[in-house]
Structure 1
């Protein structure tokens, strides 16, 4: 079956308790509040009524009509029998319930998979946090909802996925989809990589993994996805102790980190070291598909310019040598106190006009592939003024922006966000964003 039934469903049935605070009720609330336009069927053998988010539903005692997807949050021991019962009526099931192979209950998980295969039903989970199909307005999870965008997040860990979604909201990331796949008894990271590689609403894929069960298939799927769009990977379980913890967490084989690292590189994926980097890379790829290695740094403060320059060089990027024509043009309008060497220091009182004209002048230089713009505004120049200069400058090359810091640049960052330009809060993080773009 196509995985569209999970991420763009026309109907969903939710199984579990609908008492206040129960997981099934929270998932139902998320689906309703998220604006899902398909048919929603709550199911519990006790029946009754449930009201969530201003809507009242009759709780069916059993599923008695076809629907695309079932979300199951019932005790683990009854899940296989439930799948056997509803199998002829559904295309896919998301099993939230825990208590399977992750706690040594391998036989119960095998029975679950057998029942699903018998009816041609595909499974996500068990032991997972659910799924989002953001373009389908489908929030089939108890995690925090997110805004529409281009990042598909695939997470082996439900808790990591929830934290990542919340952090993504804080970082201004827009999502196309989210899937927490838990024990991967059926569908796994390889299936989701292949699916999102072909999903027209997904611009980049972020993957959190602890281990995979079929390394050969994973490498093939990763190669395929990376050939279509950026794939950003955060691998947990790199140390010996971490690998043991990963194996006990989801029952997967963590394996040697060196093997994984080589596989990521061979497939053309981008590996990051921590959550912050995952979202910095996602922000970069949400705006640009790639960038060259020759960078021009434009700043109004010498120190951050030097920090950016140091980081760029450590990462193997080049500080572009500006052409004589560019230097002459810069000298023609910049105050004599400004430095026209790269990094270009516009000094503290740089205003809208100085930033805009400098960006446009440097952007025309054939020796420059991309620009890193730094702004540390003095209290007498509103940060939004410089933000408008960045937005309105005529430049067809990648522009990575570092407005710092805190409340001083709050409004400027908002103006950038409204124009679809992401801010990187430190010079080093901005430099790293250019590095990832240059790796494509």
Structure 2
């Protein structure tokens, strides 16, 4: 299914109130400030003008020309009639308005879908937070804008989606798209899974769900998407009380968690337990598609190296057994007090040269599938120096990085980010990222 008219539109109409602070105004502002190059038409029966981000728009009293997408933030009771009126002029509608099945108003939601189908219009929502097509510079939502990248975020909950976008910005994650689909009256998680599986700007798909209505269709979409790219799922409503809360939140069937878990396993998707894991999985899949289970750990501090080793083994990964040739080569340039067994301890005063040569030597070992590089810099060695060693090392295998010590590594982490290398703030999180890569084999 082609949904480009939502995520790469050439024109958009926004319906609602354009008073400052109103939802339609905030969405219009986000679209303009986000740099959208297409046609933008604000619509309200009262007409007038609105000034947004230094641009003045004439507010149309009604839509009279075709546009790709309409974003609708008007009272729920008038939405079906509006969609019937503008149906011949639009391809899709994002219905922000709440007050449908989530509050027991199923009849109004059915009417909305009937009017849309009459005109061949696809609906996202109602009761949603909107959409982003980041590479099309289209920010059709009131949520915080994000930087371009490879993650498509599909969220049943608008509030969760907004929080995830804001946290993703802090974590240095780049997004290809965001969709909050609310009540899923028409398009649902399965449609978006299939669409983003074929979207060339999307490298990985993250999905937050509480429940689905059509389990068979969902399983088919999961299979389709996960065969093409990594799919990471955070499922809410696992407990009996959580399932009840999820059902009341979205009006969907939460169902037994055991059924979902079996479906995720069968489809080969990555299930995570919490938001932190969702971001870590997104970060690692933005860098690499997969990795084997044999890991070499390179560190300048024994303690974090041991923590990483413990976590790797608990997760079912292997500490790579380095070849004699590799250990001899390491011995040839490392100080005698360094450990050349895996984990390789470069000791506290490890500099650019020591890190770079160690990474390159270990990377050439056929027994190594991936590297976990840890840096806890002493105050006399700038973290950027070690970051440069990682960036400039000649290595064609996945490298997952753990720079620790907060403010002390800020500049090094920033330099890594500029070169597309994400940092994992603890050894355990770095180890878990490698575990997810291994699950894609």
Q: TM bucket by the smaller chain? A: over 0.9
Aligned partner of 2:372 in structure 1 is 372
Alpha-carbon distance between aligned partners in 1 of 2:2 and 2:376, rounded to the nearest angstrom: 49
Provide the rounded CA distance (Å) in 2 between the counterparts of 1:112 and 1:351: 64
Q: Which residue of 2 aligns with 1:207?
A: 207
Match of 1:396 in 2: 396
Q: Which residue of 1 aligns with 2:8?
A: 8
Moved >6 Å (runs of 4+): none
The equivalent residue for 2:416 is: 416
**Deviation per residue, 1:45-104 (Å, 9 max, x gap):** 000000000000000001011111000000001000000110011000000000000000
- Distance in 1, matches of 2:123 and 2:231, equals 23
Q: What is the CA deviation profile of residues 288-344 of structure 1, one whole-angstrom value per residue up to 9, with x for unaligned ones?
A: 000000000000000000000000000000001111111111111111111111100
Query: Equivalents in 1 of 2:13, 2:418: separation in Å?
Result: 37
**Corresponding residue for residue 171 of structure 1:** 171
The TM-score normalised by the length of structure 1 is 1.00
CA-CA distance at 1:2 after TM superposition: 2.5
Matches within 5 A, 1:32-431: 32-431=32-431
- Structure 1 distance, partners of 2:20, 2:148, is 29
CA distance in 2, matches of 1:257, 1:31: 38
TM-score (normalised: structure 2): 0.99
The alignment partner of 1:68 has SS state of strand
Q: State the Cα deviation string for residues 104-123 of structure 1 (Å, max 9, x = none).
A: 00111001001101111000
Tell me, in whole angstroms, the C-alpha distance in 2 between the residues paired with 1:38 and 1:358. 50
1:220 Cα offset (Å): 0.2
Q: Residues of 2 paired with 1:58 and 1:333: CA distance?
A: 70
Q: Any unmatched runs of 5+ in structure 1?
A: none
1:255 Cα deviation (Å)? 0.3
Q: SS in structure 2 opposite 1:201? A: coil
Q: Give SS of 1:60's match.
A: coil
Alpha-carbon distance between aligned partners in 2 of 1:236 and 1:29, rounded to the nearest angstrom: 32
SS at the partner of 2:365?
A: coil
Residues 331-359 of structure 1: CA deviation (Å, up to 9, x unaligned): 11111111111100010000000000000
SS in 2 for 1:211: coil
Give distance in 1, aligned partners of 2:282 and 2:436: 10
Q: For 1:70 and 1:128, how far apart are their aligned partners in 2?
A: 14
1:438 maps to 438
Whole-angstrom CA distance in 1 between matches of 2:364 and 2:86: 63
CA distance in 1, matches of 2:4, 2:362: 45
Determine helix, strand or coil for the equivalent of 2:67: coil
Aligned equivalents of 2:405 and 2:56: distance in 1?
Answer: 47
Superposed displacement of residue 393, structure 1: 0.6
Instruction: Tell me, in whole angstroms, the C-alpha distance in 2 between the residues paired with 1:239 and 1:7.
Output: 34
TM-fit CA distance, 1:405: 1.6
Structure 2 gap ranges (5+): none
How far, CA to CA, are the matches of 2:42 and 2:35 in structure 1? Answer: 16
Equivalent position SS for 2:94? strand
Secondary structure at the counterpart of residue 372 of structure 1: strand
User: Structure 2: how far apart are the matches of 1:54 and 1:259?
Assistant: 52
Q: Secondary structure at the match of 2:186?
A: coil
